[in-house]
Amino acid sequence: MIIKLDETRIFADVISIISELVTEVKLQIDSSGMGVVAIDPANVALVSFKIPANAFSQFIVEKETIGLNLDNLKAVLKRCSPGSSLIMQTEDNTLRIDVHDRIKRRFVLALIDIDAEEKSVPPLDFTAGIDINSGDLIDSIEDCAIVADSCSFITKDNKFIIEAKGLNSASSEFSTDEVAIKGESAKSKYSLEYLQKFIKAAKLTDKAKIQFSNDYPLKLEFSTPRINLFFILAPRVETDN
């Protein structure tokens, strides 16, 4: 495998974001591109990202799976300046990373064995979909985090509402003038701890796509022509005692 990426910032941002959920991943590389599907240790959230082959300036691969420690990879990517190009090549049981900018630097990371089976995205059937400005989503989540540890996503009467209730409360309400709303009325509650990690991906694009159903997993997607990143989060389902 030899691949070259001329725009390293997005890759570095994505690795930094998903490293808050998982520390070790199986990186899948094949003719279609590079990607990861991983589940956090608590089995609450799934993260998936894919960089298509055409985003690389050089892409010579056979189908390959490599195990990596994301903290180590993240530390290397932090050493890349905005104008750096990145060449990654597998050699024996290592990943060689050459960083080319004003000078040429090289890092060699040991590959790791990950015994866990390869993860896949479960089939999900959503009844509500929202296209929203990433900045508005960030503000709404951070507002809710001030007053509670979970928030509800609600669609009803051509409105989308994000609200949190405890001793105190916070809410944001959007009409179809601010967001695109598709599907049926729905309501589901999710952990703000995880949502605050997810919305760090808003730096990748100014639009986010939300999909959910009644008391059902959430899918939060950030997509550009160069990368697709999404998260799936289990709901918090309240039961009567």
- Residue corresponding to tokens 């090289």: 106
SS (H, E, C) 182-204: EECCEEEEEEHHHHHHHHHHHHH
pLDDT in tens, 164-212: 998 999 999 999 999 999 999 999 999 999 999 999 999 999 999 999 9
Per-residue pLDDT at 24: 93
* CATH code linked to domain 2-110: 3.70.10.10
Cβ(160)–Cβ(154) under 8 Å? yes
What does the domain layout of the chain look like in residue ranges?
2-110, 128-233
Fold agreement (2-110, 128-233): yes
Record the pTM. 0.94
**φ/ψ of residue 48, rounded to 5:** -140, 130
Distance CA 150, CA 144 (A): 8
Angle between helical axes of 8-18 and 70-77 (0-180°, round to 10): 150
* CATH code linked to domain 128-233: 3.70.10.10
Tens of each residue's pLDDT in the chain, 241 residues? 999 999 899 899 999 999 999 999 999 999 999 999 999 999 999 999 999 999 999 999 989 999 999 999 999 999 998 889 999 999 989 999 999 988 999 999 999 988 767 788 999 999 999 999 999 999 999 999 999 999 999 999 999 999 999 899 999 999 999 999 999 999 999 999 999 999 999 999 999 999 999 999 999 999 999 999 999 999 997 764 4
